[in-house]
Amino acid sequence: MICILALVVFGILGLFSTTHRPLAKEAFDCVFRRITLRPCNSNFDQKMKGKIVGKLINKSPRSARFVNRNFELLSWIMVVVFFISMIYSGYAIYNLGVHGTCNPEDPNSCPLTSDQLTSGECGECGIAGCDIHNLECVDGEPCDCEGPTCTT
């Protein structure tokens, strides 16, 4: 199942580097065949397994043996973790856009808030409460991007 994760990774890398495009194409073929309940005919999983185990064997033969024996299980775990992290990232981006913080239950725990985003556009005005949607300060005066006109 590493082909799903490889499709995403090599697909993104293939946008910037031509050396990764054949791997992305092969990963896409493997994913498409797996979705249609057919085995990969390109042995993409075996190629990736060989590359990973080959790099590990020089550093830790014991780890390489473990990865070699449990490669399918480990690839499923990586795919599940990848999709879970994508879901949580999407949820945080949604909350940042809608609520102005990535965690609406505890806004102080989020290192990124709409005030910090607007402070980049409006100078120090974001600290005083510059509204991200209409760029007005708390006291109703407009935020000047060259220098804030509102006070804290």
Report pLDDT digits (tens) over 52-100: 999 999 999 999 999 999 998 998 899 899 999 999 999 988 988 888 8
Domain locations in the chain as residue ranges: 2-99, 113-152
* 24, 11 Cβ separation under 8 angstroms: yes
Torsion sign, CA atoms 116, 121, 125, 128: negative
Helix 2-16 to helix 44-59 angle (10° resolution) is 90
- Cβ partners under 8 Å of residue 6, min gap 6: 23, 24, 27, 30, 44, 48
* 22, 28 Cβ separation under 8 angstroms: no
Specify the pTM: 0.61
